[in-house]
Structure 1
Amino acid sequence: MTEAYGRRLGERFQVENAPAIVTRALRTAELAVTEIRCDSPLHEMCGPIQQEDAFLIGLHLRDFPNREYWEAGRRASVCDVRAGESCLHDLKRVPTALFDKPYHSLAFYLPRAALDVIAEEANAPRIRDLSYEPGVGVNDVTISSLGSLLLPALSHPDQANRLFVDHVLLAVGVHIAQTYGGMRPMSQPTRGGLAPWQERRAMEILRANIKRGVALKEVARECGLSMGYFSHAFRRTLGVAPHKWLIEQRVVLSKEKLRDDELSLSDVAAECGFSDQSHLTRAFRQTVGVSPGAWRRALKR
């Protein structure tokens, strides 16, 4: 379990109350933000955070003059960090700082897994590293603005709109990937079509529901589009309507099932999401040109 957000991060800063918000907006990776505040510091080094392939982006909400900072055991230049400035920290390099003055900041947790997903959904190469100068504050207006949007949610997490928080944290991740990771899409989506991540997500959902089907509005919602626009964009990108594409995938699956002689045509139809054997036969004949029975007999020959 990571120590890079919430209560466990607060312990490293010797802070009892460290409100945090965690999101799985990327499905396979967590993003988080933690508020760290201390008005009476103990004049000690912050406890070491467990090494992991992740980054912390600290947004300072209070001036911190003459900040002393170490990374990978090397002391960085002593500098003043102003309210509104951000500092990047690589958790593989064991960042450590001396907290001898009152401080207040937001710490955004951005693991490598999240950067990988962000790059994949932007159809961009994976990000190798982030570009930053250790210990130096950067006046990044985007991070400052997005951070200010999260302060009310951190103060009253029970009243926070989860969808809004998800979007803000994801926006921070995308901004970091582009600004400090140099993320650039490899190609642009078809004009009027789906973005690469929307195409992948749509096909993922349709395949996962190949037997029972899925409402088009649910797929469109997962892609952040209206049902009408999604249907048009899907056809523009893949050349067929979503329903037609799903039928084609069912036919592909039925070819695999037909290799099993123990399955009757009715069984194959049920396994592949067709309403009955005649539905399978019609769709199979339209797509392949022969009936499933003839295709199975040809396999034996």
Structure 2
Amino acid sequence: MTEAYGQRFGERLRVENAPAIVTRALRTADMAVTEVRCDNPLREMSGSIQQEDAFLVCLHLRDRPRREYWLDGRRAPMCDLRAGESCLHDLKRDPKAVLDKPYHTLAIYLPRAALNAIADEANAPRIRDLSYKPGGGVSDVTISSLARLLLPALRHPDQANLLFLDHVLLAVGVHVAQTYGGMRPMSRPVRGGLAPWQERRATEILRASVKRSVTLMEVARECGLSVGYFSHAFRRTLGVSPHKWLIEQRVVLSKEKLRDDGLSLSDVATECGFSDQSHLTRAFRQTVGVSPGAWRRALQR
């Protein structure tokens, strides 16, 4: 079992609590994100992580001035890391750092198998290695924006939407493959959207999942497609992403439930697969333009 995410990863960075999310959007590999934070570190070296053919894509949420960093047992030049900057670490090279200043980091686990799967789905040659400055920070707006979308799910996992998390982590992997691995899809015939039977099957599964979570991989597998192609074909056919379409179906169901005056807004949220009343309100307002309470009152009038 890998030490590169979750509690075992947190132990290497001397923190007791390291919330993590694992996604299986790719059939042959897992990706994961771990949040590590320490406000009062002791001056000590981080622990070694079991070597494997994988990378960590780390977004720093706090400044780390004069960070001391080691790679392959050798000290690298000291550098200043600023909040919002990202670093890439090759887990084959035993990366370590001195933990002497407060730190707060999101670490995305990206194994070689995931990079291979991403390249295969893009019909591109597999990536040999990533190009980056070891230990140095880079201002990558895409990584920063995508990784921050994962913070609410790490802090409130009971409210996390698996489809959404699959999309975000897969997007990080594709971005790293293209930006740092030079991945470029080979030309291929332009393909359209979902076949009629695939559209029916996908919407059947998603409708049946209104009250529970479903992964992107589950739906794509039922349609006989890769996750990447399924997402593209679904959007091309139905005009929205699978995640957005599922939210819209939950809103449609909530309209039916709101006609029952015996149900509170909290009850309606639970019946329609929302994590709580505020989640229902946000989704309803974005889709309908008014809050569910206002919609119910207008209906009564």
TM-score under structure 2 length normalisation: 0.66
| Distance change >3 Å, CA 12–CA 165, structure 1 → 2 | same
- In our comparison, the structure showing a higher alpha carbon Rg is 1
Name the aligned partner's letter for residue 60 of structure 2: H
Q: For this pair of structures, how many residues does the alignment match?
A: 212
What corresponds to 1:118 in structure 2? 118
What corresponds to 1:142 in structure 2? 142
Give the secondary-structure state (helix, strand or coil) at the position aligned to 2:47. coil
Can you list the C-alpha shifts for 1:154-177, whole angstroms capped at 9, x where unaligned? Answer: 000111011001100000000000
What corresponds to 1:82 in structure 2? 82
Matches within 5 A, 1:1-301: 1-190=1-190, 192=192, 218-219=222-223, 223-224=230-231, 225-226=233-234, 229=237
Give the CA deviation at 1:186.
1.6
Give the secondary-structure state (helix, strand or coil) at the position aligned to 1:25. strand
Question: Which stretches of structure 1, 4 residues or more, deviate above 6 A after TM superposition?
Answer: none
Unaligned runs of 5+ in 2: 199-218, 239-301
Cα RMSD (Å):
2.6
TM-score under structure 1 length normalisation: 0.66
Give the CA deviation at 1:227.
11
Give the CA deviation at 1:71.
0.9
Name the aligned partner's letter for residue 137 of structure 2: G
Distance in 2 (alpha carbons) for counterparts of 1:218 and 1:164: 18
| Distance change >3 Å, CA 229–CA 88, structure 1 → 2 | same
Equivalent pair of 1:220/1:227 in contact (CA under 8 Å):
no
Name the aligned partner's letter for residue 55 of structure 2: F
Give the secondary-structure state (helix, strand or coil) at the position aligned to 2:26. coil
Distance in 2 (alpha carbons) for counterparts of 1:142 and 1:73: 31
Equivalent pair of 1:46/1:97 in contact (CA under 8 Å):
yes
Distance in 1 (alpha carbons) for counterparts of 2:95 and 2:115: 20
Equivalent pair of 1:61/1:84 in contact (CA under 8 Å):
yes
Name the aligned partner's letter for residue 223 of structure 2: V
Give the CA deviation at 1:75.
1.5
Can you list the C-alpha shifts for 1:26-49, whole angstroms capped at 9, x where unaligned? Answer: 011000000000001011000000
Give the CA deviation at 1:189.
3.4
| Distance change >3 Å, CA 191–CA 161, structure 1 → 2 | closer
Give the CA deviation at 1:112.
0.4
Distance in 2 (alpha carbons) for counterparts of 1:81 and 1:14: 20
Name the aligned partner's letter for residue 50 of structure 2: Q
Give the secondary-structure state (helix, strand or coil) at the position aligned to 1:18. coil
Give the secondary-structure state (helix, strand or coil) at the position aligned to 2:97. strand
Distance in 2 (alpha carbons) for counterparts of 1:184 and 1:190: 16
Distance in 1 (alpha carbons) for counterparts of 2:97 and 2:64: 12
Unaligned runs of 5+ in 1: 199-214, 231-301
